[in-house]
Amino acid sequence: MLDTFGEFVYDYYVKHNTAVEDVISERIKLWEANVLKLDAERVFTLSGFPGVGKTWLLHRCNYFRKKHLGIYLDLKGFEDSDTPEQYLAQIQDNIQNQIGLCKFGDLFFVDHVPPAPHHPNLVKIEDAIFIPELEKGAFFVMAQQNPYSWCWNELPHPEPYKVSPFTQANAKKIFKKMKTPFPKKGNLGYSLFSSSRILPGLISIWSKFLELEESESKATEDFLAYWFQQVVPFDQPELRHELLIAGAMTWVNSFSDTNTIKKILVVTGETVSHLSIRQKFARYQWITAYKTWEEPIRTILRVWFMQSEKALASKIQHILGD
């Protein structure tokens, strides 16, 4: 089922969201033709919510590598190496292992670019590999975990291309392709997938839930745990606490509404300030420039909270008259 899901995500992004393919392919064609002279023209960045499909685009579906035959580098776990030299050797070995399979040894697809400026491991590979390669004319496609935080010191940072979530119509196509019934009205799953913006990563985890027959709230919590790990790693007790606060805050329509935020903080027993809540959620990429919730994360959090914290949800609804 998961292989079918991966293939259909590939099918959707490549065949139905052709803007992503067209923009990257056109830029690579210009690079091949030696038209892109400036370093800043040879760095292309993707952004989007965790679970939107950036990794599928670059690696799991293998589409861009199959078509353009470049080198794929995954920076996830970059902090696990003991020394910068060790991490550099790891990346160099990865590159060497792919050189024989590549049409271009200077076309790089870099995944999970973290919001971690000045980390010594990243500084090392930037100075030893990325900057020298860029100066020699290499082309980079980078998938950022956070569009507002660039971990590189010298690499140019162009405006990221935002990868869009699925529509409900496309989500239904995936369910149909997997021969899985779309959740019925009244079920938790229907609430999750009734949004106009649906993250494919949630569908993937949902499909695992269907296979393993775990609870719907567990599938939702697993997805949110994945999301949090892309931003700030939490251990399990911290994660549960963060989910509780975030779920309670889904009754806030605008994060400029300090009165509602304070009421919810009282109900949950939290002593933090409304400003710290807003700053934290902005760091998680959950708030728009207009200080409103990003979708579909609000829907996902609300569904989880209503399922996992029923008594507290009822109390908040009573106090707010919702």
How far is CA 166 from each of CA 17, 96, 163, 205, 255, rounded to the nearest angstrom? 10, 36, 10, 15, 26
Is it the case that residue 173 has pLDDT exceeding 50? yes
For position 283, what pLDDT does the model report? 78
How far is CA 219 from each of CA 29, 134, 204, 285, 321, rounded to the nearest angstrom? 41, 42, 10, 21, 30
Kindly report the pTM of this predicted structure. 0.79
Query: Do 231 and 146 form a contact (C-beta atoms < 8 A)?
Result: yes
pLDDT in tens, 58-80: 776 556 667 778 899 999 889 89
Which stretch of 70-79, 121-130, 224-233, 244-253 has the lowest confidence by average pLDDT?
A: 224-233
Is it the case that residue 17 has pLDDT exceeding 60? no
CA 224 to chain centre: 11
The H-assigned helical ranges of 74-136 are 84-99, 120-125, 131-135
For position 1, what pLDDT does the model report? 36
> What's the CA gap between 207 and 201, in Å, rounded?
10
Listed residue (67, 70, 87) closest to 79, CA to CA: 87
> What's the CA gap between 32 and 102, in Å, rounded?
14
Is it the case that residue 264 has pLDDT exceeding 80? yes
> Are β-strands 71-74 and 43-47 bridged in parallel, bridged antiparallel, or unpaired?
unpaired
Q: Label residue 184 by pLDDT band (50, 70, 90).
A: confident
Q: Label residue 3 by pLDDT band (50, 70, 90).
A: very low
For position 61, what pLDDT does the model report? 55
The H-assigned helical ranges of 184-273 are 188-192, 200-212, 216-231, 236-248, 258-268
Q: Label residue 225 by pLDDT band (50, 70, 90).
A: confident
DSSP helix/strand/coil, 186: coil
